[in-house]
């Protein structure tokens, strides 16, 4: 990224930080800028700058800088060995970590921690009975305990769920993932768990990475029945996507009344996404979020937090994310 663009992004971030805050928390971290991927890579820093550009245009929105996560909090949940290896790879200027599409740069570890810090801040907001968003990169839902993949290094949403469980050991948490790719890392981390219900709507594993998330994957041992996967074929229409997702929430409601709701908010199911997999449009994302907020209001005292996953159309990120936040802000 050019120095001029970095300066511009810093200025936007600082202006957003100064703005008057409202009743929900909008977390991020300036170090999301320092994860430098090659120009052709979809998970680019321009995703982050586009979100800042979208927020700046909406005068009633702002950003809060998350405080740096204490490494003990991550180690509580995550492999220490893995994190040390990841940091060492970044600092030694290796081109990628574990798999070729997980590009890294010298300072990527700082961005990975920034993204984790922002997710941890969402957990704290929910523990304080607030709603929240995390607008950070890199994303996390493909990462598992000692596995980076699909542009993900630390599973941010899983980390947030774990922080809640550390403080509220009996809590029940719903993670709803609407990214077009199956949240395989999140599923793996909670597959045998009956306190965290993982639900995902995504493109069929028969044709799309990560080739998991079949509807017969429902959890194991104590976790059996606490994983719900629904798949769609190529160009799934937004109306059908929404109907399917809403029926999932209805189904979850029958058996699982969560105390906390976390959303893995990926926007690559959008019709305008360069991946061109599904045909979902702005209104469908907004309506699904409404339904999840309604669920959270009914069972979880409104404690709902969205954590950014994928979504590679810069135009969609810039336009839709402010709309999603405004809608959440006005709902409660």
| Cα(12)–Cα(33) distance, integer angstroms | 12
Contact between 213 and Zn ion per CB under 5 A: no
Contact present, 115 and 32 (Cβ < 8 Å): yes
Q: Which is nearer to Zn ion, 89 or 181 (CB)?
A: 181
* From 89, 142, 182, 202, active-site residue: 142
| Cα(312)–Cα(50) distance, integer angstroms | 10
For residue 73, the minimal CB distance to Zn ion (Å) is: 26
Token duo for residue 66 = 């998350």
Contact between 219 and Zn ion per CB under 5 A: no
Contact between 268 and Zn ion per CB under 5 A: yes
Q: Give the SS3 label for residue 38.
A: coil
Q: Which stretch binds Zn ion (CB under 5 A): 79-87, 185-193, 264-272, 288-296?
A: 264-272
For residue 142, the minimal CB distance to Zn ion (Å) is: 8
- 41 belongs to the catalytic site: no
Q: Which stretch binds Zn ion (CB under 5 A): 27-35, 70-78, 174-182, 186-194?
A: 174-182
Alpha helical stretches, state H, 19-137: 45-57, 71-75, 80-91, 108-127
Contact between 177 and Zn ion per CB under 5 A: no
Q: Which is nearer to Zn ion, 110 or 179 (CB)?
A: 179
For residue 105, the minimal CB distance to Zn ion (Å) is: 21
Q: Which of 103, 181, 182, 303 binds Zn ion (CB under 5 A)?
A: 181
Q: Give the SS3 label for residue 228.
A: strand
Helix (H) or strand (E) holding 248: helix 238-255
What part of residues 35-94 is at the interface with Zn ion (CB under 5 A)? Answer: none
Nearest residue to Zn ion on Cβ basis: 310
Q: At what angle do helices 282-299 and 314-331 cross, to 10 degrees?
A: 30
Q: Which is nearer to Zn ion, 110 or 273 (CB)?
A: 273
Q: Which is nearer to Zn ion, 45 or 56 (CB)?
A: 45
| Cα(323)–Cα(318) distance, integer angstroms | 9
Contact present, 229 and 215 (Cβ < 8 Å): yes
| Cα(166)–Cα(153) distance, integer angstroms | 22
Contact between 179 and Zn ion per CB under 5 A: yes
Q: Which stretch binds Zn ion (CB under 5 A): 82-90, 122-130, 162-170, 175-183?
A: 175-183
What part of residues 120-159 is at the interface with Zn ion (CB under 5 A)? Answer: none
| Cα(192)–Cα(173) distance, integer angstroms | 14
What lies within 8 Å, CB to CB, of 196 at 6+ separation is 161, 165, 172, 173, 174, 175, 190, 226
For residue 181, the minimal CB distance to Zn ion (Å) is: 4
Q: Which is nearer to Zn ion, 310 or 322 (CB)?
A: 310
Token duo for residue 163 = 């922080």
For residue 208, the minimal CB distance to Zn ion (Å) is: 9
Q: Which of 266, 302, 305, 322 binds Zn ion (CB under 5 A)?
A: 266
For residue 202, the minimal CB distance to Zn ion (Å) is: 8
Q: Nearest CA to 132 among 207, 54, 210, 66?
A: 66
DSSP assignment of 260-288, as one string? EEEEEE--TTBTTSTT---BB-HHHHHHH
How many residues bind to Zn ion according to rule CB under 5 A? 5
| Cα(113)–Cα(13) distance, integer angstroms | 18
What part of residues 278-317 is at the interface with Zn ion (CB under 5 A)? Answer: 310
Footprint on this chain of Zn ion (rule: CB under 5 A)? 179, 181, 266, 268, 310
Active site residues: 142
């Amino acid at each position: 990224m050019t120095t001029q663009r970095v300066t511009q992004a810093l200025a936007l971030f600082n202006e957003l930080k100064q703005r008057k805050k409202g009743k929900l928390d909008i977390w991020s971290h300036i170090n999301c800028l320092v994860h430098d991927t090659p120009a052709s890579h979809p998970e680019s820093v321009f995703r982050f700058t586009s979100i800042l550009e979208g927020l700046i245009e909406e005068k009633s929105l702002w950003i809060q800088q998350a405080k740096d996560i204490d490494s003990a909090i991550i180690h509580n949940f995550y492999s220490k060995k893995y994190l040390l290896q990841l940091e060492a790879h970044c600092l030694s200027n290796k081109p990628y970590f574990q798999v070729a599409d997980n590009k890294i740069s010298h300072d990527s570890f700082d961005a990975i921690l920034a993204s984790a810090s922002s997710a941890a801040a969402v957990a704290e907001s929910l523990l304080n009975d607030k709603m929240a968003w995390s607008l950070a990169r890199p994303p996390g839902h493909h990462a598992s305990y000692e596995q980076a993949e699909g542009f993900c290094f630390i599973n941010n949403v899983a980390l947030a769920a774990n922080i809640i469980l550390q403080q509220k050991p009996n809590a029940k948490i719903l993670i709803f993932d609407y990214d077009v790719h199956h949240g395989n890392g999140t599923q793996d981390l909670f597959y045998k768990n009956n306190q965290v219900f993982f639900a995902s709507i995504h493109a069929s594993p028969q044709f799309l990475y990560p080739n998991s998330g079949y509807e017969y994957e429902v959890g194991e041992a104590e976790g059996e029945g606490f994983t719900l996967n629904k798949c769609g074929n190529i160009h799934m229409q937004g109306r059908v996507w929404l109907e399917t997702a809403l029926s999932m929430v209805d189904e979850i409601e029958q058996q699982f009344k969560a105390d906390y709701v976390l959303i893995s908010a990926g926007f690559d199911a959008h019709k305008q996404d360069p991946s061109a997999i599904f045909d979902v449009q702005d209104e469908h994302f907004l309506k699904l979020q409404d339904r999840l907020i309604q669920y959270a209001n009914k069972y979880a005292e409104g404690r709902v937090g969205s954590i950014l996953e994928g979504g590679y159309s810069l135009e969609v990120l810039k336009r839709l994310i402010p709309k999603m936040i405004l809608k959440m802000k006005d709902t409660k």
